[in-house]
Amino acid sequence: MSLRTRLTATLFALGVVATAIPLATSPATAASAHGCSYPYVCLFNGSYQSGTIWGRYKNPGYQSMPKAHWNTTDAVVNTLNDDSVWLLDTGPSPDRYICIPRNTSVNLGDYAHPNGGTWANDVDVINIWPPSDNGLCSGTTQVRQGSVPDGWRP
């Protein structure tokens, strides 16, 4: 093998290694929004633009909110990259939900509640879906609403 061929092969190998190292060591990045850092779903008293965060959730699953915060949530910020979130109102029959897709901020007062009024101050349970849902709501990145039977649990 000629000196030129060995030099070319060595430079090529070094280029491959130099390119691979930053890719292997770069952490996954995700954006924070409105004071809510990744990987959290933050619940706000007031709007997400000017309110205060009262709760941060990140674990998948169905979770009741502390009773002190039942029906106090005005806004939600979902910084998760691949999980959608259901906020539930378990007071009416059947239970109602509003689905917040991945990487979405929502002022709940902007969405009409099926029982009248808006979703602001009508939430008492949160369900963070696992990554297998791809962070979608009914197959879309749009906020969706629906109902489930009373006492429903995933």
CA distance 85 to 131: 11
Query: Which pLDDT band holds residue 36 (cuts at 50, 70, 90)?
Result: very high
pLDDT tens for each residue of 66-106: 888 888 999 999 999 999 999 999 988 999 999 999 999 99
Give the list of residues 6+ apart from residue 18 with CB closer than 8 angstroms, or none.
Answer: none
pTM over 0.75: yes
Decide if 136 contacts 99 (C-beta within 8 A): no
Tokens of 133: 């849902």
